[in-house]
Amino acid sequence: MRWIIAPMLIAATAACSPSTTPADNVEAPIANGILPAGPVTNTTHLAPDALAPELVALIERSVPGMVIGDVERKEREGRIYLDVEGKRPDGSDVELDVLQEGANWRLVEIQRDIAWDHAPAAVTAAARAAPGAFVPERVIESTQTDGSVIYELFAPGHADEPMMEVRLRGGKAEVLDARSPH
């Protein structure tokens, strides 16, 4: 059975959600199953050849043979991340999110885009049952270092950030009521 939320409901929900300001970066509560805008993020591009050798080694250990394409430094809520995009040896796209902790870097997630019909059944069932359900136009599968996988669901016309996130852990899926911190 196909399901979709009316675009006007998405727009109305987004218009009613409190905004996040740089001053407080406090996320508003979820409304009708749709996440509000996330915290302000400052982004700068870095040259891949400017990465420190220990960071390149971490990337190689995490995804052996990865060819680094683009690197973005993102600062939000007092944390600094590097989004390292590239290709696996088989040519598929991959992104690593690496968190700076003092002078060290820690891998926090490995991401890839997938088709919605390739998401696990438990994830699609949880998303369909959520208030404000919609058919996502983009899905990011984000493998976390704790063994869980978060599926970031982007509503049609909202390509900038996910409108819903579903965590799969131990075969059980749950719609998150707040954005994942990473």
What's the pLDDT tens digit per position in 168-180? 999 999 999 888 7
pLDDT of residue 160: 83
CA distance 45 to 90: 25
Kindly report, residue by residue over 4-33, the tens digit of the pLDDT: 333 333 333 333 333 333 333 333 334 455
User: Where are the CATH 3.30.505 domain residues in the chain?
Assistant: 42-108
Contact 88, 66 (CB under 8 A): yes
Is the pLDDT confidence value at 38 over 50?
A: yes
User: What is the percent of the chain with per-residue pLDDT over 90, rounded to a whole number?
Assistant: 66
Alpha helices per DSSP H over 32-129: 53-62, 121-129
Kindly report, residue by residue over 95-142, the tens digit of the pLDDT: 999 999 998 999 999 999 999 999 999 999 999 999 989 999 999 999
pTM for this entry: 0.76
CATH number of 42-108: 3.30.505
